[in-house]
Structure 1
């Protein structure tokens, strides 16, 4: 017991600073106490909520930076403190529908997905028209040169018509925050036997840059006063 108490007292000895070979050392391990504690970031699902938080000045009036990290993620944080660390106050993550790309699905499921998860435009209507002409039994035939397809589909009880499959198609799926315009990008529409339909992305990911630019533009417009007063900075 006495031995342990003695070791404890020795551990209370003030550290000494030693210089050797141009380097400075301490005789005991030291732990730096952060001048600012971490905070639990507020998690929200919209850009409007992020704007409301900034305008409220609820927590502080220090300048903050908004980082458009991706089409679905935006973070708000403050400047570096004395230990070169920053705190994230708000994390905005878009609430998105479940959209399937790069995989075939039934005509029925594809029809529902297209109508509920895509913004309406001319190509969307064209695709819906083609999909609605396909019957689910094995009566779909294809003439495929690798670029365009021609599918033979039953158009009535006793007649068969030819429906051209448009490619590529320009569609606007919901892939970013609903407050901003959904970026339009090109897709390859493919059909195969069994009334299976698939959408394959064909823009090389350019839509992501467009979506992030739309988010930044939305924030710049709605926080114009705060940006002018140098209370908010935006990067993407």
Structure 2
């Protein structure tokens, strides 16, 4: 009985191949033993990514930098014999939270504008309006279907009807801090309360601008020509 069991276990570990209709089959499933791959380092800045790569701390092989989005950049090597890539590092930008298409009360909107947007003329105008609006009633005016009027303080003691600016050009903080935040157009609307909201109006074109700026920054930092040298960059 023991002899038969040993024979069975021995045969169990043996693998044979069989040819059927010109194709070769294995009598047992085979599993590929893959090359080990490192876990990617995670950072939150482009400068951190650059410093790591310039240090040659883990590798000196040719690397590809992929600008995946305005907030994500990854670095990987060529495929190995298993046709897999080693991902060395990934940068993910930390950006303040702002919900577009959502109405905020004027106090919350004021805080968000100051903390999540780069100063410019239109931001200044919106801050002034949100801080001085007097009435809860927001009225539509004109025949274009888009204009709005609110009553706001226009002097030390004077209030008057003020037209709501629309559209506005703003630069939210929505990509890496090392590059200029791209400006884009927004539709600014108000509701009774009063409440304020911004709606994106550039069709996502700002993302292309941001990704190009990230690529330009990396090229300058690595001082490389596209397609030459140890570092290659795509966006």
TM-score, structure 1 length as denominator?
0.91
| C-alpha deviation, 1:227, in angstroms | 6.1
| C-alpha deviation, 1:100, in angstroms | 1.8
C-alpha deviations, 1:176-231, integer Å up to 9, x for none?
Answer: 00101111111011011111011111111111111111111111110114867521
Partner residue in 1 for 2:172? 173
Helix, strand or coil at the partner of 1:217:
helix
Task: Determine whether 1:232 maps to 2:231.
Answer: yes
Helix, strand or coil at the partner of 1:68:
strand
Residue segments in structure 2 that go unaligned for 5+ positions in a row:
none
List, as ranges, runs of 4+ consecutive aligned residues in structure 1 with deviation greater than 6 Å.
Answer: none
C-alpha separation in 1, matches of 2:208 and 2:232: 19
Task: Determine whether 1:18 maps to 2:15.
Answer: no
Partner residue in 2 for 1:47? 46
C-alpha separation in 2, matches of 1:158 and 1:89: 61
C-alpha separation in 2, matches of 1:157 and 1:32: 78
Helix, strand or coil at the partner of 1:173:
coil
Residue segments in structure 1 that go unaligned for 5+ positions in a row:
none
| C-alpha deviation, 1:65, in angstroms | 0.5
Partner residue in 2 for 1:71? 70
C-alpha separation in 2, matches of 1:23 and 1:185: 60
Partner residue in 1 for 2:111? 112
Helix, strand or coil at the partner of 1:119:
coil
* Equivalent pair of 2:107/2:131 in contact (CA under 8 Å): no
C-alpha separation in 1, matches of 2:107 and 2:180: 27
C-alpha separation in 1, matches of 2:128 and 2:70: 30
TM-score, structure 2 length as denominator?
0.91
* Equivalent pair of 2:66/2:73 in contact (CA under 8 Å): yes
| C-alpha deviation, 1:19, in angstroms | 2.2
| C-alpha deviation, 1:147, in angstroms | 2.3
Alignment map for 1:208-223 (pairs within 5 Å): 208-223=207-222
| C-alpha deviation, 1:86, in angstroms | 0.5
| C-alpha deviation, 1:6, in angstroms | 3.3
Helix, strand or coil at the partner of 2:8:
helix
C-alpha separation in 1, matches of 2:80 and 2:138: 66
